[in-house]
Structure 1
Amino acid sequence: MWILGNPIKIEGSEFSNTRAIYICNHASPLDIFLVMWLTPTGSVGIAKKEVAQAIVKKNLSLIIFPEGTRSKTGRLLPFKKGFVHIALQSKLPIVPMVLTGTHLAWRKNSLRVRPAPLKVRYLPPIKTIDWEEKDINKYVEMVHDLYLQHLPESQKPLVTEGKNIIRES
Structure 2
Amino acid sequence: MNVRGVIAGLLFLPITILLSIAVCLARPFSRLAWPSKVMQLWANSVFWMSGIKLQVVGEEHLTAGKPAIYMANHASMIDIPILVAVLPGHVRFLFKHTLMYVPFLGQAMMLLGMIPINRTNRTKSVESLRKAGERIRSGIDVIIFPEGTRTKTGEMLPFKNGGFLMAIQEGFDIVPVTIHNSREVCGRNSIVTRKGVCRVTIHPRYETTGFTVADRRQIMSDVERIIGSAVQLRGRDNAAPVIELGHH
**Normalised by the shorter chain, which TM-score bucket?**
0.7 to 0.9
> Could you give the per-residue CA deviations for residues 73-115 of structure 1, whole angstroms, max 9, x where no partner exists?
2221111011211111221111111000000111134331011
Q: Counterparts in 2 of 1:11-90, with a 5 A limit?
A: 11-18=57-64, 19-46=67-94, 47=115, 48-90=128-170
Task: Compute the RMSD of aligned alpha carbons.
Answer: 1.9
Q: 1:57 to 1:8 in 2, by over 3 A?
A: closer
Quote the Cα distance in structure 2 between the aligned partners of 1:73 and 1:91: 34
Deviation for aligned residue 1:153: 6.6
- What is the identity percentage for the equivalent residue pairs of Structure 1 and Structure 2? 29
Equivalent of 1:110 in 190, 198, 217: 190
Secondary structure of 2:206's aligned partner: coil
Tell me the SS of whatever aligns to 2:129: coil
1:146 equivalent in alignment to 2:226: yes
Are the equivalent residues in 2 in contact too, given 1:20–1:62 (CA < 8 A)? Answer: yes
C-alpha separation in 1, matches of 2:132 and 2:179: 24
The structure 1 segments of at least 4 consecutive aligned residues displaced by more than 3 Å after TM superposition are none
Corresponding letter in the other structure for 1:6: I
**Following TM superposition, by how much is the alpha carbon of 1:152 offset from its aligned partner in structure 2, in angstroms?**
0.7
Larger Rg belongs to: 2
- Letter aligned with residue 41 of structure 1: G
Is the contact made by 1:84 and 1:139 (CA closer than 8 Å) also made in structure 2? yes
Of the candidates 200, 204, 211, which is equivalent to residue 131 of structure 1? 211
CA displacement 1:11-38 (0-9 Å, x = unmatched): 1111224431111100001001111222
Report the Cα offset of residue 55 of structure 1: 2.9
Q: Which amino acid in the other structure matches residue 16 of structure 1?
A: L
Which one-letter code corresponds to 2:183 in the other structure? H
Gaps of 5+ in 2: 1-46, 95-114, 116-127, 235-248
TM-score scaled by structure 1? 0.82
TM-superposed CA distance for 1:68, in Å, is: 0.4
1:80 is paired with a residue of what secondary structure?
A: coil
AA aligned to 1:71 is: T
Is 2:76–2:182's contact at 8 Å kept on the other side of the alignment? yes
Match of 2:56 in 1: 10
What is the TM-score with the length of structure 2 in the denominator?
0.57
Q: Which runs of 5+ in 1 are unaligned?
A: 155-169
Structure number having the greater helix percentage: 2
